[in-house]
Amino acid sequence: MNQSNIYQKMISILFLGYIGIICILNYISLDTIFSESENRMLQQKPYFSFKKIVGGQFISQYEKYFTDQFIARDFWIGIRSDTERIIGKKENNNVYLGKDDYLIEAFHKPSKENFNQKIKEFYKFADATPNVHKYFLLVPNSVSILKDKLPPYAPTDDQLLYIEEFKKNMPKSIKFLDIYNMLYNKKDEYIFYKTDHHWTTKGAYYAYEKIAKDMGLIPYKKEDFQIQKVTDEFYGSLYSKSGFRHVQPDDIELYIPKQKIKYQVEYIEENKIDHLFYNLDNLYKKDKYKVFFDGNHPLMKISSDQDQQKKLLIIKDSYANSLIPFLALHYSEIYVVDPRYYKKNLQELIYKNHIENVLILYNENTFFQDSIE
């Protein structure tokens, strides 16, 4: 046997030994339920049944289980991320690695049917609430405001085009709150997180400052708040989704009003009451954005001891969570509905509670996925 054959045999033995060790470690290691770095539940071992075998579900579930529970999964994800960066890959799972290590989620235009359905929903809602002041804020994402940070020739559709198109076609009884130019003029400031799809609290404050005036309110100035950095270790949703690693974490700031106002926050379906907008315990968890109201809920009612007898309903996605504390300075009651979880009738909620004002607030990337009916 020549030397070349000996080396080949040794390499084969080492490789088979490596595979064997990996298989043994995978077999004896405990399954992980939740991935902190990816912020999602991991596939658990599927139950065996002949029905699943025949239908093909068992094999697909087991493949996903093996992938999710692979030993040292986070380590291998990091290796893949480093390799992809070395070879110049700038996109993964619809997320681009942009300049200054910004992770930016692509925008894909809605279908014509989806767009028209949204318009119909707005007309239906407008007709059902004729005596209510209605406002709509469609928030552009970082893919639009920070487009200069995208990799060259990144294939993403134009959010501004669809903002203008929706503004042109929506009912006149709903006032469109336009913040695009304002945010674009602030693009050099820290108004979007680098690792998360949300705007920062500073971005939310600038939006509040603009829309408050458009809603007939006098916005509080920055000097009216104590700005507190509560963490500098926030890795957000795009960090989890993209798999890109070795990027700097984000900061989260809270704007605490210097004026002392007593609040009561009722989480209606959870039958829970709090007196703060912020759950600081979540700063020690993966999803630190849940510091705002402990995340999303079907229905919240925020009451204050202010003299102003004004009520507001906010129909929203998670972008509103960091903006609500600013608006709470202007209303005695705010009702907050997340249509993804609230399945009751909105018109009944409005008339039963004598709500005079409605703000519909969505970021553009998720707007066409939800319904306001």
Q: Which of 159, 194, 91, 196 is nearest to 368 (CA)?
A: 159
pTM, rounded to two decimals? 0.81
Count CA atoms closer than 13 A to 10's CA, side-chain side: 7
What pLDDT does residue 10 have?
62
Beta carbons of 137 and 177 less than 8 angstroms apart: yes
What pLDDT does residue 153 have?
83
Residue 362: strand, helix, or coil: strand
pLDDT per residue over 56-77, tens digit each? 555 565 455 545 554 545 555 5
- Other Cβ atoms less than 10 A from the Cβ of 56: the count is 9
Distances (CA, A) of 87 to 80, 104, 110, 140: 11, 19, 32, 31
What pLDDT does residue 81 have?
58
**Dihedral of CA 177/324/236/268: which sign?**
negative
Cα distance from N-terminal residue to C-terminal residue, the chain: 77
Beta carbons of 162 and 108 less than 8 angstroms apart: no
What pLDDT does residue 35 have?
47
Q: Which two tokens stand for residue 260?
A: 């002392």
Q: Which of 235, 228, 262 is nearest to 249 (CA)?
A: 235
CA distance 146 to 367: 19
pLDDT per residue over 86-137, tens digit each? 655 688 888 999 999 999 999 999 999 999 999 999 999 999 999 999 999 9
pLDDT greater than 50 at residue 40:
no
Beta carbons of 263 and 275 less than 8 angstroms apart: yes
Taking residues 315-319, report their average pLDDT. 96
The DSSP line for 59-75 is: HHHHHHHHHHT-TTHHH
pLDDT greater than 50 at residue 199:
yes
